[in-house]
Amino acid sequence: MKRNDSGILIGYNFGKERMMFLTVYKPLEASTTLRFYRAIHTRTELPPESAYYLQSLQKGYNGEKNWATYLNELPENIPILYDLQFEVNQSTIQIDALCILQNKLVLFEVKNFQGNFSVDGDKWYSPSHKEMKNPLNQIKRAEPIFHQFLKKHQLNIPFDYYLIFVHPTFILYGASHQEQLILPGQIPEFLDGLKQQTFSPQWMHTNIIDTLLTNHKNGIHLFHKPQYHFDQMEKGLFCGVCGEKMNRTHKMIFSCSGCHHPTSVNNIVLCNIQDYMTLFPERKVTTASIFEWVGGEVSANAIKKILYNNFERTGKGKSTHYIKTDK
């Protein structure tokens, strides 16, 4: 088994005659909120406050990708789930990454801060010496909510919660030793401890994974909703990695003009359909609407085939459109 970006394949062996395989599909990917702002930014101009928020979201996501690279060093059969969000008793928590070990869960809040920060008691100060929110309070708030979540779903397993600073330039002056706080220089030793963990999957772990994925809430959190209109947006195919225009380099391949990331026709069209559905949930997904959305970069017949293979077709004739499906 090998860990990769499309999920984690876990083999559960329950005796000689029974084997169950479970694919955990919760890899790290851009959040719905980040995709929302990024999709607008690639096709029209964002107002300053929204552009700043997008920059903040992207910076956070880059930090999470950095941490995911570290976690990929763990034994391949340890389940890792990214970007989980739960609502418990009208309170919401978001977990950047979660590892399932043999007898406990390990939760991570990832920060991608850069520069010289300082601590004085419970007060944190930015490089510009302005007082800021204490990021440890985010964990202190989330811990009892996650306890409630586990109790509600009868998951009798303890957990540890860590605040991880991943950017190599981050320095924190005046901080006393706290087990929950992991600074960049402490990451290798911390990972060495996790790498020593052994994992033998049991039904309990299956139940935990199923409960986490079933109760995950994939909502959009809008700091400021910018005004945008379909007719005023630039049409075409845009990169799902950096947002730049895609150019066809082969019959079945597009390449990004910015990061040069190559993508198959199928995947880049699906990525841009996702943007369309995120920005315009009230509009029907039809062959004609997607053909217009991608600026005619892909033929209508190819779009029709992609929609047919990945969505549920409903309606007849001119009223034919496509909706999300779990298949």
Q: Residue 3 falls within a domain, yes or no? A: no
Q: Is the pLDDT of residue 327 over 70?
A: no
SS3 at position 323 = strand
- pLDDT band, very low/low/confident/very high, at 6 (cuts 50, 70, 90): very low
Q: Residue 300 falls within a domain, yes or no? A: yes
Residues 78 and 103 in one domain: yes
How much is the average pLDDT of 144-152?
Answer: 96
Task: Share the mean pLDDT of the chain.
Answer: 88
Domain-terminating residue out of 161, 185, 215:
215
SS3 at position 34 = helix
Contact assessment for residue 46 and residue 54, using Cβ atoms and an 8 Å cutoff: yes
Residues 181 and 286 in one domain: no
Alpha-carbon span 322 to 30, nearest angstrom? 24
Q: Beta partners for 191?
A: none
Domain count, the chain: 2
* pLDDT computed for residue 326 by the predictor: 57
pTM: 0.83
Q: Residue 280 falls within a domain, yes or no? A: yes
Q: Residue 59 falls within a domain, yes or no? A: yes
Alpha-carbon span 253 to 262, nearest angstrom? 7
With pLDDT > 90 as the criterion, what percentage of the chain qualifies?
71
Residue-by-residue DSSP string for 149-211:
HHHHTT----EEEEEEE--TT-EEETPPP-TTEE-GGGHHHHHHHHHT------HHHHHHHHH
Contact assessment for residue 228 and residue 40, using Cβ atoms and an 8 Å cutoff: yes
What are the tens digits of pLDDT across the range 27-49?
Answer: 788 888 888 999 999 999 999 99
Residues 206 and 235 in one domain: no
Residues 206 and 261 in one domain: no
Residues 56 and 161 in one domain: yes
Q: Residue 223 falls within a domain, yes or no? A: no
* pLDDT computed for residue 18 by the predictor: 35
| Weakest-pLDDT range from 35-39, 269-273, 282-286 | 35-39
Q: Which domain holds residue 254?
A: 230-323
What CATH number is associated with residue 296?
A: 1.10.10
Q: Residue 132 falls within a domain, yes or no? A: yes
Residues 134 and 270 in one domain: no
Residues 165 and 52 in one domain: yes
Residues 173 and 285 in one domain: no
Residues 29 and 153 in one domain: yes
